[in-house]
Structure 1
Amino acid sequence: MTSNSNAVPGLFPGKIVVFLLAVGLMVIFVSSVFYRLQNPSRTVVRQEAPAGGKSMKALAKMGNMGQIRDLMQALQKNPEDLPTLMSLASVFMEMGAWDRAALFLQDALNVEPTNKDALNFYGICLYQKKDYAKSAEVFSQLLELDPDNPMAHYNLGVMQKYFLDKPDEGMENFRRAKALAPQDPRLTKLVNEELEATHGSAK
């Protein structure tokens, strides 16, 4: 992930990676499990690359291509199948193909505009595409549906503080995130660091 010139050196990039990557991995795992439950014959068995053969990275990419092919075939039969659209988005997010993932998430939101997972992942993709204003808008839409979502508050706060010149609103979202997840040590640590950087002490 690339950082923005307005980001605090050594502070912002690692923080956003923690939350966005965690969310991305979560959706990939959940979608993968769901898809395999629906298609038990597609369970993947890991194999070691033979000596002198393809690298593990190449094999993993081949596996993604096979999954994408299967999912695209399923989508041709039912273009508005939400689980298939979400699974395709997850695979492309895993590959770092944010443009492609965003397209399938847009399709998913056309099918179900209030789908919270789709909004969350779309916001992440937009961030990766450096469309920070739109990303903040999507996280705001998510909070309208789920006002007690601490990760959405945190991510919106990041957009506001580092990219949209709205530090006060960003700090308010950081505080809200902390209040909503007091038992989450990772989130609490990140928010405290933001508050300390701005005010000198966590509040």
Structure 2
Amino acid sequence: MTKASNVFGRKLVLLVCGLSLLTIFGVSIVYRANHPNMAVHAKKKTSAMGAMASGMGGLQAMMAKAETEPDNVENLMELANAFLMMRAWDRALVFLERAKALQPDNVIILKSVGICYFQKQMHEKAVEVYERILAQQPDDALSHYNLGIIFKHYLNDPQGAVRHFRAVVEMPNADEEMKKHAQAELNELEKM
């Protein structure tokens, strides 16, 4: 008898669930019929990266603009950033060097140049760029951190690394996450 009641109970639960789903489906159809203009519209990207993502046409347009407007730093930076996103360091560096020639003290350009040099394993050149940034902005935590990484891991200069990691840790306006990473690097250096 209990086995039969378990089967009946299961059938009843399944029937109730099925009727509930049919009711939800029916209400949905009626609602859609009464509101035919209901639609979701997605926004299109209009940035340079959006243009690049929509195809090579956007990238080609920016490159054509670089030929007709060679002094347009904003366009050169958009091109460089597009190639940075693709990890095409050599291509990005071409446009960054052109932008740097037009605005040699632009810190944003210099930071991107430093990234390219680092990624191309041109560590001495990256050091020159980051030190140039620090000459203009001594409290640039990211440049100090990057120099610490280069000195510790690539140039075998633990004293230089300590100096830059300590600068990050002691900097009141530095990002807390960066401070934690710099402190961890310092802790490793102290164990050596």
Q: Does 1:165 align with 2:156?
A: yes
Query: 1:176 maps to which residue?
Result: 167
Query: 1:121 maps to which residue?
Result: 112
Q: Does 1:106 align with 2:97?
A: yes
Q: Deviations over 1:19-38 (max 9, x none)?
A: xxxxxxxxxxxxxxxxxxxx
Tell me the TM-score normalised to structure 1 length: 0.66
Sort the Cα spacing of 1:163 and 1:66 in 2 relative to 1 into closer, same or farther, 3 A: same
1:1-203 pair list within 5 angstroms: 43=46, 63=54, 65-181=56-172, 184-200=175-191
CA-based RMSD: 2.3
Unaligned runs of 5+ in 1: 1-40, 45-59
Secondary structure of the residue aligned to 1:71 is helix
The AA in structure 1 aligned to 2:103 is: E
Give distance in 1, aligned partners of 2:92 and 2:175: 29
The AA in structure 2 aligned to 1:65 is: M
Secondary structure of the residue aligned to 2:54 is helix
Give distance in 2, aligned partners of 1:139 and 1:78: 29
Q: Between Structure 1 and Structure 2, whose CA radius of gyration is higher?
A: 2
Sort the Cα spacing of 1:123 and 1:132 in 2 relative to 1 into closer, same or farther, 3 A: same
Give distance in 1, aligned partners of 2:175 and 2:142: 11
Unaligned runs of 5+ in 2: 1-43
Q: Give the number of aligned pairs.
A: 146
Sort the Cα spacing of 1:138 and 1:180 in 2 relative to 1 into closer, same or farther, 3 A: same
Tell me the TM-score normalised to structure 2 length: 0.70
| Higher RCO, 1 vs 2 (CA within 8 Å, ≥6 residues apart) | 1
Runs of 4+ in 1 over 6 A off after TM superposition: none
Higher mean C-alpha displacement, 126-135 vs 68-77? 68-77
Give distance in 2, aligned partners of 1:61 and 1:197: 42
Sort the Cα spacing of 1:64 and 1:151 in 2 relative to 1 into closer, same or farther, 3 A: farther
